[in-house]
Amino acid sequence: MALIELKSVTKIYPLGNQEVVAVDDFSLSIEAGEFSVFAGPSGSGKTTLLNMIGCLDQPTRGEIWLEGQEIGHADQKMLSELRLRNIGFIFQSYNLIPVLTAAENAEFTLMLQRVDKRERRERVTDLFSLLGLDGLENRKPSDLSGGQQQRVAIARAMASEPTVVLADEPTASLDSHASEELLALMQRLNQEQGATFIFSSHDPLVISHGKRVVRLHDGHLESDQ
């Protein structure tokens, strides 16, 4: 059984009096441990797909299965729970909580899951060490560089050991050096910890790191390599 399965997924957004088809009759299977990239130009539907897999949005038609559970038509409470337990997000502009320190940001989902404080600290310390963030635990996001903030965001996404980590244009706000470092780190996490990563990006650097590249165009699957 695939970790994620999309069956004839269509997403239509209302736009004034018109409708925009963001994803059209899209089907795909993703196995556990994959390091996949949804590639395509702006408006191709890659972020919409990522949002639907991440339980942030729901399809107009079709089904989305995550670990054997249909999530495409779950209620808000269930979606919150799925996001908390199964999904790790890495956003383009980091989106760290400004009032929390780096370590508290990384611990946030664990706090929501009511994980014991000591265990939280251990997990985050390990991740910070792995991500080269030692010594930055008590810094506020505003005191960190873009690359450091994105690493904290990775730590936050990874801390709760989710089923899948979704990264939407994760390098868009970083320079090429920082992007290279970050991608190498995520590849390492994928290899060492077996975490499943799905990216959306039109950055050739990110695409070149993908083990599987799913190309989209106007909401349709163009290629899957």
Partner 1 sequence: MLYQLALRNIWRNRRRTLLTLSAMIISSALLILALGVFSGMLRDMLATATEQYYGHLVISAKGYQDDRDMFRHFQSDESIGTVLEQEDVLGYSQRLRSFGLLSRQQNSSPAEILGILPLQEQTVTSLHESLIDGNYLTTEDPNGAVLGSGLARRLNVVPGDQLVFVTQAADGSIGNDLLLVKGIFSTGDIGHDNSLALVPLAWLQQVLVLPGQVHEIAVKIDQPFNAASLAEKYRVDLHETLEILDWGEMLPEMAEVVASYDVSRMIIVTILYIATGLGILNTFFMAVMERTRELGVLMALGMRPGQIRVMILLETTIMGSLGLVCGAVVGIALSLYMALVGVDLSGTLTPITYAGGTILPRLHAVIEPGNILIPSVCLLIVSLLAGFLPANRAAKMQPVVAIREE
- What is the smallest separation between the CB atom of 176 and partner 1, expressed in angstroms? 26
Question: Amino acid letter at 108?
Answer: F
**Chain mean position to CA 2:** 18
- What is the smallest separation between the CB atom of 55 and partner 1, expressed in angstroms? 9
In the complex with partner 1, which residue's Cβ is closer, 84 or 205? Answer: 84
- What is the smallest separation between the CB atom of 153 and partner 1, expressed in angstroms? 10
In the complex with partner 1, which residue's Cβ is closer, 76 or 225? Answer: 76
In the complex with partner 1, which residue's Cβ is closer, 35 or 94? Answer: 94
d(CA 152, CA 185): 12
- The token duo for 167 is 């990264």
In the complex with partner 1, which residue's Cβ is closer, 120 or 209? Answer: 120
d(CA 178, CA 151): 10
In the complex with partner 1, which residue's Cβ is closer, 105 or 179? Answer: 105
- What is the smallest separation between the CB atom of 208 and partner 1, expressed in angstroms? 27
Q: Is 54:66 a contact under the CB 8 Å cutoff? A: no
- What is the smallest separation between the CB atom of 191 and partner 1, expressed in angstroms? 25
Question: Amino acid letter at 6?
Answer: L
* Beta strands at 61-66 and 69-70: parallel, antiparallel or unpaired: antiparallel
DSSP string for residues in 70-115: E-TT--HHHHHHHHHHHEEEE-TT----TTS-HHHHHHHHHHHTT-
Residues that bind partner 1 (CB under 8 A): 51, 54, 56-57, 76-77, 80-81, 83-85, 87, 89, 91, 95, 97-100, 108-109, 111-113, 156
